Structure 1
Amino acid sequence: MSNEQVIADLHSRWVFGWEREQGDAPFDFRRTFDEFYDFDSPDVRLYDDFDPEQRVATTAVAYGAIWEPAFRKMVSARHAVDDGPHVVVGGELAASTLAFVARITMPDVVTDIRTTTSLVWHRTPKGWRIVREHNSSKELPTGALDGMRARADLARTQM
Protein backbone atom coordinates (compact mmCIF):
# COMPACT_ATOMS: atom_id res chain seq x y z
CA MET A 1 0.00 0.00 0.00
CA SER A 2 1.38 3.47 -0.87
CA ASN A 3 1.85 6.14 1.80
CA GLU A 4 -1.06 8.04 0.24
CA GLN A 5 -3.30 5.01 0.66
CA VAL A 6 -2.13 4.46 4.23
CA ILE A 7 -2.91 8.07 5.17
CA ALA A 8 -6.28 7.96 3.39
CA ASP A 9 -7.18 4.79 5.31
CA LEU A 10 -6.05 6.29 8.62
CA HIS A 11 -8.02 9.50 8.07
CA SER A 12 -11.17 7.58 7.13
CA ARG A 13 -10.86 5.31 10.17
CA TRP A 14 -10.14 8.34 12.38
CA VAL A 15 -13.56 9.81 11.51
CA PHE A 16 -15.34 6.69 12.66
CA GLY A 17 -13.36 6.58 15.89
CA TRP A 18 -15.62 9.43 16.99
CA GLU A 19 -18.74 7.26 16.60
CA ARG A 20 -20.81 6.73 19.73
CA GLU A 21 -23.81 4.54 20.30
CA GLN A 22 -26.10 4.53 23.30
CA GLY A 23 -24.73 2.02 25.82
CA ASP A 24 -21.09 2.27 24.68
CA ALA A 25 -18.36 2.14 27.30
CA PRO A 26 -17.32 5.59 28.54
CA PHE A 27 -15.34 7.45 25.88
CA ASP A 28 -11.59 7.07 26.41
CA PHE A 29 -9.67 9.28 23.99
CA ARG A 30 -6.29 7.58 24.44
CA ARG A 31 -7.71 4.09 24.05
CA THR A 32 -9.70 5.10 20.96
CA PHE A 33 -7.06 7.21 19.22
CA ASP A 34 -3.70 5.83 20.37
CA GLU A 35 -2.88 4.65 16.84
CA PHE A 36 -3.74 8.04 15.32
CA TYR A 37 -2.28 10.85 17.45
CA ASP A 38 1.35 11.43 18.39
CA PHE A 39 1.15 11.31 22.18
CA ASP A 40 4.92 11.90 22.50
CA SER A 41 5.59 14.85 20.20
CA PRO A 42 6.23 18.36 21.56
CA ASP A 43 5.09 19.72 18.15
CA VAL A 44 1.38 18.91 18.44
CA ARG A 45 -1.24 21.60 17.72
CA LEU A 46 -4.87 20.45 17.61
CA TYR A 47 -7.92 22.65 17.06
CA ASP A 48 -11.62 22.14 16.41
CA ASP A 49 -14.05 25.06 16.26
CA PHE A 50 -16.81 22.71 17.48
CA ASP A 51 -15.19 23.13 20.91
CA PRO A 52 -17.26 25.94 22.49
CA GLU A 53 -14.08 27.39 24.04
CA GLN A 54 -12.11 27.02 20.78
CA ARG A 55 -8.98 25.89 22.59
CA VAL A 56 -5.75 24.88 20.86
CA ALA A 57 -4.30 21.76 22.45
CA THR A 58 -0.53 21.34 22.43
CA THR A 59 -0.63 17.65 23.40
CA ALA A 60 -2.86 14.78 22.42
CA VAL A 61 -3.67 14.25 26.11
CA ALA A 62 -4.91 17.86 26.40
CA TYR A 63 -7.01 17.40 23.25
CA GLY A 64 -8.57 14.29 24.73
CA ALA A 65 -9.39 16.25 27.88
CA ILE A 66 -11.37 18.72 25.75
CA TRP A 67 -13.53 15.99 24.19
CA GLU A 68 -13.93 13.28 26.83
CA PRO A 69 -16.53 15.11 28.97
CA ALA A 70 -18.82 15.90 26.01
CA PHE A 71 -18.46 12.47 24.41
CA ARG A 72 -19.22 10.76 27.72
CA LYS A 73 -22.52 12.68 27.88
CA MET A 74 -23.54 11.89 24.28
CA VAL A 75 -26.34 9.53 23.48
CA SER A 76 -24.84 8.95 20.03
CA ALA A 77 -22.59 10.41 17.36
CA ARG A 78 -22.96 9.15 13.81
CA HIS A 79 -20.68 10.11 10.95
CA ALA A 80 -20.51 9.75 7.18
CA VAL A 81 -17.65 10.81 4.90
CA ASP A 82 -18.88 13.46 2.47
CA ASP A 83 -15.68 14.15 0.50
CA GLY A 84 -12.17 12.72 0.50
CA PRO A 85 -9.83 11.93 1.91
CA HIS A 86 -7.40 13.91 -0.24
CA VAL A 87 -3.76 13.22 0.60
CA VAL A 88 -0.31 14.60 -0.19
CA VAL A 89 2.85 12.98 1.13
CA GLY A 90 6.35 14.41 1.18
CA GLY A 91 9.14 12.77 3.13
CA GLU A 92 8.36 12.52 6.83
CA LEU A 93 5.16 14.59 6.67
CA ALA A 94 1.79 14.07 5.03
CA ALA A 95 -1.39 16.15 4.91
CA SER A 96 -4.93 14.98 4.41
CA THR A 97 -8.28 16.70 4.12
CA LEU A 98 -11.68 15.17 4.42
CA ALA A 99 -15.24 16.43 4.86
CA PHE A 100 -17.78 14.56 6.91
CA VAL A 101 -21.29 15.02 8.21
CA ALA A 102 -22.34 14.01 11.69
CA ARG A 103 -25.44 13.81 13.80
CA ILE A 104 -24.62 14.48 17.44
CA THR A 105 -27.35 13.40 19.86
CA MET A 106 -27.13 14.74 23.39
CA PRO A 107 -29.78 13.99 26.02
CA ASP A 108 -31.56 17.29 25.29
CA VAL A 109 -30.68 18.21 21.68
CA VAL A 110 -29.78 16.79 18.28
CA THR A 111 -27.26 18.70 16.16
CA ASP A 112 -26.37 17.99 12.53
CA ILE A 113 -23.02 19.31 11.31
CA ARG A 114 -20.75 19.28 8.29
CA THR A 115 -17.05 19.44 9.12
CA THR A 116 -13.97 19.93 7.00
CA THR A 117 -10.94 18.41 8.67
CA SER A 118 -7.28 18.89 7.82
CA LEU A 119 -4.67 16.66 9.43
CA VAL A 120 -0.89 16.74 9.28
CA TRP A 121 0.75 13.38 9.85
CA HIS A 122 4.33 12.74 10.93
CA ARG A 123 6.07 9.46 10.20
CA THR A 124 7.23 7.99 13.54
CA PRO A 125 8.73 4.61 14.49
CA LYS A 126 5.14 3.62 15.43
CA GLY A 127 3.76 4.68 12.03
CA TRP A 128 2.03 7.82 10.79
CA ARG A 129 0.67 9.97 13.64
CA ILE A 130 -1.33 13.22 13.75
CA VAL A 131 0.65 16.29 14.88
CA ARG A 132 -1.66 18.99 13.50
CA GLU A 133 -5.43 19.08 13.28
CA HIS A 134 -7.83 21.78 12.19
CA ASN A 135 -11.55 21.17 12.00
CA SER A 136 -14.14 23.69 10.84
CA SER A 137 -17.78 22.82 11.40
CA LYS A 138 -21.03 24.30 10.20
CA GLU A 139 -24.30 23.51 11.90
CA LEU A 140 -26.90 22.23 9.41
CA PRO A 141 -30.65 22.82 9.48
CA THR A 142 -32.55 20.55 11.86
CA GLY A 143 -33.20 17.19 10.23
CA ALA A 144 -30.72 17.74 7.39
CA LEU A 145 -29.15 14.36 8.02
CA ASP A 146 -32.33 12.29 8.41
CA GLY A 147 -31.55 8.91 6.88
CA MET A 148 -27.80 9.42 7.29
CA ARG A 149 -27.26 6.07 9.02
CA ALA A 150 -28.20 4.15 5.89
CA ARG A 151 -25.85 6.32 3.80
CA ALA A 152 -23.01 5.87 6.32
CA ASP A 153 -23.45 2.09 6.33
CA LEU A 154 -23.42 2.06 2.53
CA ALA A 155 -20.27 4.22 2.42
CA ARG A 156 -18.46 1.88 4.83
CA THR A 157 -19.24 -1.16 2.72
CA GLN A 158 -17.71 0.62 -0.30
CA MET A 159 -14.42 1.52 1.47
Structure 2
Amino acid sequence: MALASPTVAQAQSGTAAQCQTSGANSVPELHKEWILVGWDKPVAGQSWDFREKLGKYYDWEANDVVLYDDMSPDFQIARSPEEYRALWESSFQALRRAHHLVLNGPEVIAGDKLSTSTLEFAARLEPPESQPIISVRARSTLVWRCTSDGWRIVREHNSTRRITPEESRQLFGF
Protein backbone atom coordinates (compact mmCIF):
# COMPACT_ATOMS: atom_id res chain seq x y z
CA MET A 1 0.00 0.00 0.00
CA ALA A 2 1.46 3.34 -1.08
CA LEU A 3 1.28 6.28 1.26
CA ALA A 4 0.42 9.75 0.04
CA SER A 5 3.23 12.25 0.07
CA PRO A 6 2.99 14.97 2.73
CA THR A 7 2.09 17.54 0.04
CA VAL A 8 -0.82 15.42 -1.26
CA ALA A 9 -1.97 14.58 2.27
CA GLN A 10 -1.85 18.26 3.24
CA ALA A 11 -3.83 19.24 0.13
CA GLN A 12 -6.44 16.58 0.83
CA SER A 13 -6.62 17.66 4.45
CA GLY A 14 -7.05 21.30 3.40
CA THR A 15 -9.83 20.37 0.97
CA ALA A 16 -11.61 18.20 3.52
CA ALA A 17 -11.49 21.07 6.01
CA GLN A 18 -13.55 23.13 3.52
CA CYS A 19 -16.28 20.47 3.37
CA GLN A 20 -18.24 20.62 6.57
CA THR A 21 -20.26 17.67 7.84
CA SER A 22 -22.51 19.84 10.01
CA GLY A 23 -23.64 23.43 10.10
CA ALA A 24 -24.61 25.91 7.40
CA ASN A 25 -22.18 24.62 4.76
CA SER A 26 -22.90 20.92 5.23
CA VAL A 27 -24.58 18.89 2.49
CA PRO A 28 -28.04 18.69 4.14
CA GLU A 29 -28.16 22.44 4.76
CA LEU A 30 -26.84 23.26 1.29
CA HIS A 31 -29.45 21.02 -0.36
CA LYS A 32 -32.29 22.76 1.51
CA GLU A 33 -30.87 26.20 0.75
CA TRP A 34 -30.37 25.22 -2.92
CA ILE A 35 -34.12 24.57 -3.35
CA LEU A 36 -35.58 27.14 -0.93
CA VAL A 37 -33.34 30.10 -1.79
CA GLY A 38 -31.77 29.27 -5.12
CA TRP A 39 -34.88 28.25 -7.05
CA ASP A 40 -37.36 30.54 -5.29
CA LYS A 41 -38.66 33.71 -6.90
CA PRO A 42 -41.11 35.07 -4.31
CA VAL A 43 -41.66 38.56 -5.74
CA ALA A 44 -43.61 39.05 -8.97
CA GLY A 45 -41.38 40.46 -11.68
CA GLN A 46 -38.20 39.85 -9.68
CA SER A 47 -35.12 39.23 -11.81
CA TRP A 48 -33.76 35.67 -11.66
CA ASP A 49 -30.16 35.05 -12.68
CA PHE A 50 -29.02 31.40 -12.47
CA ARG A 51 -25.38 32.16 -11.76
CA GLU A 52 -26.30 34.72 -9.09
CA LYS A 53 -28.92 32.51 -7.40
CA LEU A 54 -27.36 29.05 -7.83
CA GLY A 55 -23.76 29.51 -8.94
CA LYS A 56 -22.24 28.75 -5.55
CA TYR A 57 -23.79 25.27 -5.46
CA TYR A 58 -22.36 23.89 -8.73
CA ASP A 59 -18.84 22.86 -9.74
CA TRP A 60 -18.22 25.20 -12.70
CA GLU A 61 -14.68 23.86 -13.22
CA ALA A 62 -15.49 20.13 -13.44
CA ASN A 63 -15.69 18.32 -16.76
CA ASP A 64 -17.74 15.38 -15.45
CA VAL A 65 -20.98 17.13 -14.41
CA VAL A 66 -24.37 15.55 -15.28
CA LEU A 67 -27.54 17.51 -14.43
CA TYR A 68 -31.10 16.35 -15.19
CA ASP A 69 -34.61 17.48 -14.35
CA ASP A 70 -37.63 15.85 -15.99
CA MET A 71 -39.20 19.32 -16.34
CA SER A 72 -36.36 20.57 -18.52
CA PRO A 73 -37.17 21.34 -22.15
CA ASP A 74 -37.17 18.12 -24.21
CA PHE A 75 -35.80 16.22 -21.16
CA GLN A 76 -32.32 17.52 -21.91
CA ILE A 77 -29.30 16.46 -19.88
CA ALA A 78 -26.81 19.22 -19.11
CA ARG A 79 -23.12 18.35 -18.99
CA SER A 80 -22.07 21.57 -17.25
CA PRO A 81 -23.59 24.21 -14.99
CA GLU A 82 -23.45 26.59 -17.97
CA GLU A 83 -25.61 24.22 -20.06
CA TYR A 84 -28.01 23.89 -17.13
CA ARG A 85 -28.15 27.68 -16.80
CA ALA A 86 -29.02 27.92 -20.50
CA LEU A 87 -31.89 25.42 -20.00
CA TRP A 88 -33.45 27.22 -17.03
CA GLU A 89 -32.63 30.90 -16.92
CA SER A 90 -35.07 32.20 -19.52
CA SER A 91 -38.00 30.07 -18.29
CA PHE A 92 -37.43 31.10 -14.66
CA GLN A 93 -36.95 34.71 -15.70
CA ALA A 94 -40.36 34.54 -17.43
CA LEU A 95 -42.12 33.23 -14.30
CA ARG A 96 -43.99 35.74 -12.20
CA ARG A 97 -43.20 33.78 -9.03
CA ALA A 98 -41.75 30.44 -7.92
CA HIS A 99 -42.36 29.03 -4.44
CA HIS A 100 -40.72 25.92 -2.96
CA LEU A 101 -41.18 23.87 0.21
CA VAL A 102 -39.09 21.00 1.56
CA LEU A 103 -41.48 18.17 2.41
CA ASN A 104 -39.06 15.43 3.53
CA GLY A 105 -35.33 15.18 4.06
CA PRO A 106 -32.72 15.64 3.12
CA GLU A 107 -31.42 12.14 3.61
CA VAL A 108 -27.64 12.11 3.28
CA ILE A 109 -24.92 9.57 2.72
CA ALA A 110 -21.77 11.45 3.70
CA GLY A 111 -18.26 10.76 2.52
CA ASP A 112 -14.97 12.64 2.57
CA LYS A 113 -14.79 13.37 -1.15
CA LEU A 114 -18.34 12.67 -2.37
CA SER A 115 -21.70 12.86 -0.60
CA THR A 116 -25.24 12.37 -1.81
CA SER A 117 -28.46 13.91 -0.59
CA THR A 118 -32.09 13.30 -1.44
CA LEU A 119 -35.09 15.37 -0.47
CA GLU A 120 -38.71 15.74 -1.48
CA PHE A 121 -40.01 19.20 -2.28
CA ALA A 122 -43.07 20.94 -3.65
CA ALA A 123 -42.96 23.75 -6.20
CA ARG A 124 -45.63 26.24 -7.23
CA LEU A 125 -44.66 28.01 -10.44
CA GLU A 126 -46.64 31.04 -11.60
CA PRO A 127 -46.12 31.76 -15.31
CA PRO A 128 -47.40 34.94 -16.98
CA GLU A 129 -51.04 35.65 -16.10
CA SER A 130 -52.52 34.08 -19.21
CA GLN A 131 -51.10 30.64 -18.35
CA PRO A 132 -52.12 28.19 -15.61
CA ILE A 133 -50.11 27.76 -12.42
CA ILE A 134 -47.96 24.61 -12.37
CA SER A 135 -47.63 22.75 -9.07
CA VAL A 136 -45.46 19.67 -8.56
CA ARG A 137 -44.05 17.35 -5.96
CA ALA A 138 -40.49 16.29 -6.70
CA ARG A 139 -37.66 14.08 -5.51
CA SER A 140 -34.26 15.66 -5.84
CA THR A 141 -31.03 13.70 -5.59
CA LEU A 142 -27.73 15.56 -5.66
CA VAL A 143 -24.17 14.26 -5.62
CA TRP A 144 -21.76 16.70 -4.03
CA ARG A 145 -17.97 16.74 -4.50
CA CYS A 146 -15.65 18.20 -1.90
CA THR A 147 -13.64 20.96 -3.59
CA SER A 148 -11.29 23.62 -2.27
CA ASP A 149 -14.37 25.90 -2.21
CA GLY A 150 -16.52 23.43 -0.25
CA TRP A 151 -19.26 21.07 -1.40
CA ARG A 152 -20.30 21.49 -5.04
CA ILE A 153 -22.96 19.67 -7.10
CA VAL A 154 -21.63 17.36 -9.81
CA ARG A 155 -24.75 15.22 -10.35
CA GLU A 156 -28.41 16.17 -10.16
CA HIS A 157 -31.58 14.20 -10.81
CA ASN A 158 -35.04 15.62 -10.21
CA SER A 159 -38.22 13.66 -10.84
CA THR A 160 -41.58 15.41 -10.60
CA ARG A 161 -45.27 14.71 -10.67
CA ARG A 162 -47.98 17.31 -11.14
CA ILE A 163 -50.31 17.90 -8.23
CA THR A 164 -53.85 19.25 -8.17
CA PRO A 165 -54.66 22.87 -7.35
CA GLU A 166 -56.25 21.61 -4.11
CA GLU A 167 -53.11 19.75 -3.03
CA SER A 168 -51.06 22.83 -3.90
CA ARG A 169 -53.33 25.04 -1.73
CA GLN A 170 -52.99 22.56 1.15
CA LEU A 171 -49.20 22.61 0.89
CA PHE A 172 -48.63 26.30 0.26
CA GLY A 173 -51.64 27.83 2.00
CA PHE A 174 -52.69 29.89 -1.06
Fold-level similarity (TM above 0.5):
yes
CA distance in structure 2 between the partners assigned to 1:113 and 1:40 by the alignment: 31
Deviation at 1:78, TM superposition (A): 0.5
Counterparts of 1:1-159 in structure 2 under 5 Å? Answer: 3=21, 6-16=26-36, 17-20=38-41, 21-25=43-47, 27-107=48-128, 108-149=131-172
**One-letter identity of the residue aligned with 2:32:** S
Report the secondary structure of 1:34's partner residue: helix
Relative to its length, the structure with more strand (as a share) is: 1
Deviation at 1:99, TM superposition (A): 0.4
Task: After the TM superposition, list the runs of 4 or more consecutive aligned residues in structure 1 that deviate by more than 4 angstroms.
Answer: none
Relative to its length, the structure with more helix (as a share) is: 2
Alpha-carbon spacing, 1:60–1:84, altered in 2? closer, same or farther (3 Å): same
109-118 or 140-149, which moves further after superposition?
140-149
Structure showing greater Rg? 2
Q: Which runs of 5+ in 2 are unaligned?
A: 1-18
Residues 112 and 143 in structure 1, CA contact (< 8 A), matched pair in contact too: no
Count the aligned residue pairs: 150
Report the secondary structure of 1:50's partner residue: coil
Deviation at 1:147, TM superposition (A): 4.9
122-131 or 137-146, which moves further after superposition?
137-146
CA distance in structure 2 between the partners assigned to 1:74 and 1:143 by the alignment: 21
**One-letter identity of the residue aligned with 1:23:** G
**One-letter identity of the residue aligned with 1:130:** I
Length-normalised TM-score, structure 2 = 0.81
CA distance in structure 1 between the partners assigned to 2:93 and 2:137 by the alignment: 21
CA distance in structure 2 between the partners assigned to 1:143 and 1:54 by the alignment: 27
Residues 45 and 97 in structure 2, CA contact (< 8 A), matched pair in contact too: no
CA distance in structure 2 between the partners assigned to 1:8 and 1:46 by the alignment: 19
CA distance in structure 1 between the partners assigned to 2:94 and 2:140 by the alignment: 23
Length-normalised TM-score, structure 1 = 0.88
Deviation at 1:34, TM superposition (A): 1.8
CA distance in structure 2 between the partners assigned to 1:112 and 1:150 by the alignment: 13
Deviation at 1:148, TM superposition (A): 3.6
**Percentage of matched positions with identical amino acids:** 36
Cα deviation 1:49-105 (Å, max 9, x = unaligned)? 011311110000100110011101101110110100011112200000000001111
Report the secondary structure of 2:29's partner residue: helix
CA distance in structure 1 between the partners assigned to 2:166 and 2:135 by the alignment: 7
Residues 28 and 117 in structure 2, CA contact (< 8 A), matched pair in contact too: yes
